[in-house]
Structure 1
Amino acid sequence: MSERVAESGGEPAPPPSSAVGWWAVLVFLLLYIVSFLDRQIISLLVQPIRDHFLISDFQVSLIQGFSFAVFYALFGLPVGWLVDRFSRRHVIFFGLLIWATAASVSGLAQRYWQLALSRVGVGAGEAALAPAAYSILSDLFPKSKLTLPMSVMGAGTKLGSALATLIGGFLIATLPREGMELPLIGHYAQWQVALLLTGIPGLLIAPLVFTIRDPRALRAVPDQPAVVHGQGSALHILRANARFYAGHFVGFGFVSLCGYALLAWMPTFFIRRFDYSLSEAAYTAGSITLVTSLFGSVLMGWLVDTWYARGRRDAHLLFFAANMLVEAVLICIAMSTADVRVAILCIGLQQILIPFTGVSAASLQIFTPPPVRGRISSIYLLVFNLLGIGLGPSMVAIFTDFVFADDKAINKSIMATFIIFSIAAALCLLFAARPMREGVRGAPDMPTN
């Protein structure tokens, strides 16, 4: 069995009620929706941004993914340290203020580098949400029931992405094409006004964070560092369980890469492949994601929780190893067909299968001891986001600009990305399955707060 940290700390608080746990899930779901609204609005504005700054698909992809992901990942490391030591609610609150402000400021950009810098701010702020949310939910739910609430919270990623395209489509359809004259700051293009508006919801809902119960704050004695053979650091845990963490981090990172690749370019796919207008592409992509997101997230979480509760301790990893191969087939059909109805059907089915954030987060929290969850979750998010949002949008653009050298080959680029990285994801997850199976065998099924 892999060496893991003994769980220690202060006197535990009484087990939280189901209502307390699910209220936290609903608040985190709302925060995730807002975070992905701010994050994904760029995917709808590819052409206006290209035209405004006279840049390529690849340069747009750097704004969509790389500039955001690098600083999301880098700021995630100190955030993980803060999550393990200070108020998790305060960490989320201040992160939310930063990302919402940066999201609105991005609409003021007059140069390409200014837009990229503002997206860095969005990434830096959003780095606070996931590690703290994972840590709090793992204290509120038993292990055999953790994947479903994690998945419901993770549905916010899809709902936020859907709302980004739907709201963005609405704004593009209603805002004046020539832009607007804004009081005190001057004239701004249509796409800039849309970005200015996206940060406002986050600022309005920030105080909801303090309605969440944090079980760690109720302990009679503060947590003390756990020790195994004289060593209890996050680095020691990573080294002692290198096979699990490497396979998990990289495997779900490749799953994320595929998800972001499609998410970032879905509206553009419908525009270039089927001659949709910007508004038509927005409503089509947004509707697909909106209809499938919550159902898919709940279904994936319930299926994995059920399998895990029946004794399959590596259920999270085996499930998505098989899942990714099915998704690759669906995307190949969607990208190859000349019938838009078949494309929409296959993308819709793939979107039902793709919600993985709850499954990946739950498996990580189940395996990782509480005293180092924040730091290890941040390292996971570093890898996950560098591969996912950092590389996913750019990988499609690399195929389009440098391999096929044809904007109309967007379908081939998405297909190539899925074929390569779906197989790679499945292999990595299978590699991590055995240590997870051995590492959690016989672990108590209770919240580890």
Structure 2
Amino acid sequence: MQQDGKARSAKGTEPDSAVSALSAWSTVFIFFLLYSLAYVDRQILNFLVDPISRTLGISDFQFSLVQGVGFALLFTLAGIPIGWLVDHKPRRLIMGAGLTIWSIAAGICGLASQYWQLLLGRIGLSVGEATLAPASFSILSDIFPPRKLTLPMTVMTLGANAGSILAAAVAGWAMAVVPAAGVEVPLLGRLHNWQVAMLVIAVPGLLMVPTLFAIKEPVRQRAVAAARPGSSAMLAALGHNRRFYGGYFTGLGFYSMGNYAALSWLPTFFIRQHGWEVKEVALAIGSLHIVAGLTGTVVMGYLVDRWYAAGRKDAHCLFLGITSIVQLVAFSAAMLLDNPMLALAALVPFKAVSNFSGIGAAGLQICTPRETRVQVSAVYLLVYSLLGAGIGPTLVAVFTDFIFADPQRIGSAMLLSVAGCAILATGFLLYAAPAMRRVE
């Protein structure tokens, strides 16, 4: 490590040129499918808030714990030992084990008849899905050079939008086709429509496990014979450029919190505020993900790569700082408009810049020394997940249940939550930008 106060170089050696473009992008495609499956399991709950709450007799706050803390707490805690495993063991095997665990856990959620069972299933889901990000980030950073890393990272995390679309489709189908009184299923008994939806999404994950063996484990790009760095090396890396890491982690944490606060409750907003049915909401939100989410995610990754390649070394910080303000303006309009179709249209720019995780991860990989990337990424995921998935959904529920004491004021609760998060995200990201420029 340099001792003269200059930011340390994170470039290292270029990934092995023997990795063909076809092989590299095939890996990206498999990871895209895995992200899609993960986000189907995560997002389908958002379309089923009221049906599940009625069946289990729970409040918004209790439901938010299933959406948020129940998922995020174990997701982040599991990320620390999983980060170590990713650094030492075959990464595709770790991902395969995780995929198996989260698919079984999704089935447990579908069979839940009590609140604690649903919460237990979500905890299992979180532990399994905690393998996906560190392993996929690590593999992609070994097969793509830094100057080309943002686009594949973004395409991979595009699976979040694809998964959200599938979640909307499955939820809409189940609520439209399965009778409200439920349906008799051999060996399982009578299942509610929301349970059918959640059981349907549990199956594809188990079928995907064999595809992981199609991934070639790339050579790790740090010196293979070098001693594995311990936590002291990771802490030294964080401390050496603490302005960047502190601002970047916190800024992206608030960005994530605002997104989770909005997207976790958006279907419920249209149901309560505008009187829509679940199947109508599923079609509308699914279309929003297709029109804005898929297009916006790819364009964002392309623009940041171009900006960075043109010499703007703080491109990731500045771009996300700007898009956070875009989200604030667009979401404010959506919550204040009386016409639901106009509100949906106002959400297009919000959703277009919501899938920032690929850009955030790419910026971190670029600025972090190779020998500590996995461990630093685990810290990033801890902050990102606790603030975002952990607190975001619950923040809205605190307003509806405890401050307003009125579930119908969900629009006001969402607006206040997103506005505060967007302002804080922009401030911290702009604070981190000068330190990012100094990374060699």
Taking structure 2 as the reference length, the TM-score comes to 0.94
Give the deviation of 1:6 after TM superposition. Answer: 7.4
The count of residues paired between Structure 1 and Structure 2 equals: 436
Aligned to 1:65: 68
C-alpha distance in 1, partners of 2:429/2:77?
A: 24
Aligned to 2:137: 134
Q: 2:314 touches 2:434 (CA, 8 Å); kept in 1?
A: yes
Gaps of 5+ in 1: 442-449
Residue identity matched to 2:409: A
Q: 1:84 touches 1:371 (CA, 8 Å); kept in 2?
A: no
Aligned to 2:308: 308
Residue identity matched to 1:136: I
Aligned to 1:80: 83
Aligned to 1:405: 405
C-alpha distance in 2, partners of 1:53/1:291?
A: 34
Aligned to 1:98: 101
Q: 2:108 touches 2:117 (CA, 8 Å); kept in 1?
A: no
Percent of paired sites with the same residue? 44
Residue identity matched to 1:222: V
Helix, strand or coil: the match of 1:390? helix
**C-alpha distance after superposition, 1:274-313 (max 9, x if no partner):** 1111111121112111222221111100110010001111
Aligned to 1:170: 173
Aligned to 1:436: 436
> Residue 44 of structure 2: which of 41, 46, 50 is its match?
41
C-alpha distance in 2, partners of 1:14/1:102?
A: 39
Alignment of 1:11-410 (within 5 A): 13-216=16-219, 222-225=224-227, 233-410=233-410
Give the deviation of 1:27 after TM superposition. Answer: 0.8
Helix, strand or coil: the match of 1:391? helix
Q: 2:222 touches 2:370 (CA, 8 Å); kept in 1?
A: no
Taking structure 1 as the reference length, the TM-score comes to 0.93
Give the deviation of 1:223 after TM superposition. Answer: 4.4
**C-alpha distance after superposition, 1:79-106 (max 9, x if no partner):** 1001111111111111111011101111
**C-alpha distance after superposition, 1:351-404 (max 9, x if no partner):** 112220110000011111222222111111111011111111111111122222
Q: Give the root-mean-square deviation of aligned CA atoms.
A: 2.1
Q: 1:6 to 1:188 in 2, by over 3 A?
A: closer
C-alpha distance in 2, partners of 1:254/1:420?
A: 9
Give the deviation of 1:321 after TM superposition. Answer: 0.6
Give the deviation of 1:132 after TM superposition. Answer: 0.8
Residue identity matched to 2:219: R
Helix, strand or coil: the match of 2:190? strand
Q: 1:161 to 1:290 in 2, by over 3 A?
A: same
C-alpha distance in 2, partners of 1:253/1:220?
A: 28
Residue identity matched to 1:72: F
Gaps of 5+ in 2: none
Q: 1:301 to 1:284 in 2, by over 3 A?
A: same
Give the deviation of 1:3 after TM superposition. Answer: 4.9
Q: 2:155 touches 2:297 (CA, 8 Å); kept in 1?
A: yes
Give the deviation of 1:180 after TM superposition. Answer: 2.3
Q: 2:254 touches 2:421 (CA, 8 Å); kept in 1?
A: yes
**C-alpha distance after superposition, 1:381-440 (max 9, x if no partner):** 11101111111111111112222222221111111111101010011111211221111x
